[in-house]
């Protein structure tokens, strides 16, 4: 299953993947919500997952799919080469991470590897993988729970607190409480400061 919110990119990925005799695209969807819904019924052997999509996004989709099926084979395919997103994706249950700047052969190899239950990271992400436990500016995000990070990212992308609550199917009070925790943990005072921090770490587009 190919998951990406850009129809042209989905079509391109379908063509590339189908060109390999060992692979075939079963279906393609444009959101994390749709990915989770379709996975429940289709159970593809592997998933190629974008991270930055409208709605609850790729990391939450990974978490929900892996909760449904602990053996789900998910390969992240992202424009972002962020250490923070790599860590969050792996923590959510992704088996691999390939950047969209990688060669086609790298994507296909990664897809085959995760389908076999193996881990795979594209070469340009290896430094971030090796630096995961070294002190860095990215480490401040380790204080955030998965839910807090999810809300942080939504706020950084310009969503309001009420929109976050609607997207994540949470109460406004719950989101507000998380917002308070995020501000305390990251020493920021507003969503605007969160957005600047997210841009510096490559979590959202400027």
Decide: helix, strand or coil at residue 9: helix
Contacts of 78 (CB under 8 A, 6+ apart): 50, 51, 52, 58, 85, 89, 97, 98, 99, 100
Residue 205: how many other CB atoms lie within 10 Å = 10
Q: Distance between CA 30 and CA 55 in Å, rounded?
A: 10
Q: 23, exposed or middle or buried, with CB in 10 Å at 0-12, 13-18, 19+?
A: middle
Supply the angle between the helices 7-18 and 104-115 in degrees, to the nearest 10: 70
Contacts of residue 37, Cβ cutoff 8 Å, sequence gap at least 6: none
Strand partners, 3: 29, 49
φ, ψ for residue 187 (rounded to 5)?
55, 50
- pLDDT at res. 132: 59
Query: pTM of the predicted model, to two decimals?
Result: 0.76
Q: pLDDT tens per residue, the chain (206 residues)?
A: 999 999 999 999 999 999 999 999 999 999 999 999 999 999 999 999 999 898 888 999 999 999 999 999 999 999 988 888 898 999 999 999 999 999 999 999 999 999 999 999 998 888 777 665 555 556 678 889 989 999 999 999 899 999 999 999 999 999 999 999 999 999 999 999 999 888 888 787 66
Q: Which pLDDT score is estimated for 137?
A: 53
So what's the pLDDT on residue 94? 97
């Amino acid at each position: 299953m190919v998951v990406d919110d850009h129809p042209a990119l989905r079509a391109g990925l379908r063509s590339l993947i189908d060109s390999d005799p060992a692979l075939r695209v079963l279906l393609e969807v444009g959101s994390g919500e749709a990915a989770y819904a379709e996975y429940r019924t289709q159970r593809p052997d592997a998933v190629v997952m974008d991270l930055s999509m409208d709605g609850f996004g790729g990391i939450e989709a990974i978490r929900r799919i892996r909760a449904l099926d602990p053996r789900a084979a998910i390969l992240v395919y992202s424009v972002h080469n962020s250490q923070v997103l790599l860590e969050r994706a792996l923590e959510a249950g992704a088996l691999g991470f390939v950047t969209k700047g990688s060669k086609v052969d790298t994507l296909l190899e990664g897809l085959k590897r995760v389908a076999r239950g193996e881990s795979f990271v594209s070469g340009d992400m290896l430094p971030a993988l090796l630096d995961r436990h070294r002190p860095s500016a990215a480490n401040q995000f380790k204080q955030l729970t998965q839910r807090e990070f999810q809300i942080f990212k939504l706020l950084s992308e310009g969503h309001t607190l009420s929109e976050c609550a609607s997207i994540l199917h949470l109460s406004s009070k719950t989101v507000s409480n998380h917002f308070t925790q995020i501000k305390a943990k990251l020493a920021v005072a507003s969503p605007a400061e969160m957005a600047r921090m997210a841009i510096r770490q490559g979590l959202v587009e400027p």
